[in-house]
Amino acid sequence: MRPKRLVDAVLFDTFGTVVDWRTGVSQAVSEFSGDVDPNEFALAWRGRYQPSMAPVRNGERPFVDLDVLHRENLEATAAEFGLSLGSADPSDVDWLNRAWHRLPPWPDSVAGLTELKRHFIVGPLSNGHTALLTNMAKHAGLPWDVILGSDLLGTYKPDPRAYLGAAEILRLPPERVMLCAAHNIDLAAAQEAGLRTAFIPRPAEYGPAQRQDLHATGSWDVIAQDITDLATQLREHVVG
């Protein structure tokens, strides 16, 4: 009897797990303005990310995509740092807001995904929308089989509908889908929804001051060093 793989699809949290948002956004901020610390600005902008999605998840606000939320968060962060967006060329502000479309991959991402793609369906399960994730993939060379944007799912993680909706789109039972993430909270929600889980650490995601997600804190199906190691472990992990 042919051995059975642990799962059929391996989906990925993207910001921080597959791409290095802090470096990419900091670079864009530094090109936009020399009046603020680009790293601190990037961290503050990202800090508004989860709170801005909460009203959508709890039904207080209709679904809007991440470009809208990022723009609102950009304006709030700019005000916090005393950076005037009103005096800038609108096209330059739009370019800055779309920095999240142009993020660099971690060194292992492309090679690891390419190896995984040989045996599994691979794609993002991200709060980014389809156009953002497509642009990101073209920029970073990410070899996805499928792109499941939040605009297709109509909600944001960790809403269980995001995880279950992705499995439904792929016509797979939840247990045949794995989420790989560098964030334990994301994996806990995926596991609760019935998905398999894999953790990889990204200790440089938030820079030297990072204190969370330095290691796995849950009973995940796989704990890997990076995406390449995940590909090796999954290739060797068979059931039945």
CATH topology of domain 4-20+104-239: Rossmann fold (3.40.50)
Give me the percent of the chain exceeding a pLDDT of 70. 98
pLDDT in tens, 31-88: 999 999 999 999 999 999 999 999 999 999 999 999 999 999 999 999 999 999 989 9
pLDDT at 236 over 90: no
Neighbours of 201 (CB within 10 A): 16
Mean pLDDT of 10-26: 98
With residue 8 as reference, give the H or E element that holds it. Answer: none
pTM as predicted = 0.95
Q: How confident is the model at residue 239 (pLDDT cuts 50, 70, 90)?
A: low
List the domain boundaries for the chain: 4-20+104-239, 22-101
Alpha helices in the chain (DSSP H): 21-32, 38-47, 49-57, 66-81, 90-97, 109-117, 130-140, 150-153, 160-169, 184-192, 227-236
Q: Which CATH number fits domain 22-101: 1.10.645.10, 1.10.150.240, 3.30.420.40, 3.30.70.60?
A: 1.10.150.240
Q: How confident is the model at residue 214 (pLDDT cuts 50, 70, 90)?
A: very high
